[in-house]
Amino acid sequence: MRLLKTARWITVLGLALLAAVYVRALAFTPVERVQGAAQKIFYLHVPAAIWTEAGMVLVGVASIFFLFLKDPRLDRFAEASAEVGMMFGTIVLTTGPIWGKPIWGTWWTWDARLTLTLLLFLMYVGYLLLRGAVTDPGLRARYAAVLGISGMCLVPFVHLSVYMFRTLHPQPIVLKPSAPSLPGDMLATLLFSFVVFTILYVGFVTQRYALALLREQADQHA
């Protein structure tokens, strides 16, 4: 299957570039003064966090279009984005505490951003469990779409809470109204890492989509 082959190559490219990110982050980016080596976790944690959230938004958007257009490709994409999003969420929820322990002295705090990521993760789990619990494909797609849209609508509320709360979590230093206050070298590493995570998202989602398609075709033949 051509789609699958292309997707595999994209993933391999992504993983190879990931190795390059590692080298750049670890050997060619300056060590931050206050946080020491632990700060470098940032270069993996932030892109993963962005894609965890973007993955959920895409599930929601695909779900909205699915309810109107009823195109099964949209449902397959939503399923793929959910699984990949959950995987990125796992990265955020593991690297986050590992970063937090030396910096804040605690593995977990209920600061708003960590809470958001945990909620996103729980939504992904719920979404995939719901899909697993419904046997009829038509019903499954519709139910998943309803849940996906609801999940997407929850995200802005949690963000609002972030800004209403004083938090331990580092304040935005890149995406804020004034110019990014991250030094050039570090910003470059972060952007490079973000591009690589994007490539990985695309590769993984396409493979997962292809898998769903293959399974449907196998079911039809059976």
Reduce the secondary structure of 83-118 to three states and give it as a string.
Answer: HHHHHHHHHHHHHHHHHHHHHHCCCCCCCHHHHHHH
* 122 versus 173: smaller Cβ distance to another protein: 122
Task: Single out the residue of 16, 20, 23, 146 in contact with another protein (rule: CB under 8 A).
Answer: 146
Phi, psi at residue 36, to the nearest 5°? Answer: 70, -155
CB of 149 to another protein, least distance (A): 6
* 110 versus 176: smaller Cβ distance to another protein: 110
Dihedral of CA 101/195/211/133: which sign? positive
Helices (H), the chain: 2-27, 42-69, 72-104, 112-133, 137-164, 184-221
Contacting residues toward another protein, per CB under 8 A:
4, 8, 11, 15, 18, 22, 26, 31, 35-38, 40-41, 44-45, 48, 67, 84, 87, 90-91, 94-95, 98-99, 101-103, 115, 119-120, 122-123, 125-126, 129-130, 133-134, 139, 142-143, 145-147, 149-151, 153-154, 157-158, 160-161, 164, 200, 204, 207-208, 210-211, 214-215, 218
